[in-house]
Amino acid sequence: MQVPQKKPVERVFHALAFEIVATVICAPVLSWLMGTSLAHMGALTLVFAAVAMTWNMVFNAIFERIERRYGLSRTLLVRAGHALLFEGGLVVMLVPLAAAWLGVSLWEALMLDIGLMLFFLPYTFCFNLAYDHLRARRVARRVMA
């Protein structure tokens, strides 16, 4: 059975759920690692989430426009370029923000960001795998009802 395409409301729910779960995991861990209060780190992770969600929407709109304009296919090379450009843009925005927020050097903030990227790679995979599985079960139940 093919699962139907997500509607805009579900896309928003998916993005919010992704960021909320990530914040619930990251805020306490980063608070402990950085020796800062949970409130301080929780606020930073929420700001990071807002920046990431906004950048995701803006970047993908621009990228898809370029794709259409130049007739690009979503080859492995194009997908790799998309991922690198997206993450690079996020680093440019988040590293100075983290440095200022935490009162650390840009180098320390970059190391923190690299740590977050290493967390988000498996987290994104696992979250989306679980979400897709739960969504497929929900859709199957609707069809059976």
**Which pair of tokens denotes residue 50?**
């807002």
Q: Which tokens belong to 32?
A: 């402990």
Q: Rounded to 5 degrees, what are φ and ψ at 138? A: -65, -45
pTM reported for the whole predicted model: 0.80
The C-alpha atoms of residue 100 and residue 83 are separated, in whole angstroms, by 26
Residues 54-113 pLDDT 10s: 998 899 889 889 988 998 887 889 888 888 999 999 999 999 999 999 999 999 999 999
CA dihedral 109, 111, 115, 118 (to 10 degrees): 120
Q: How confident is the model at residue 141 (pLDDT cuts 50, 70, 90)?
A: confident
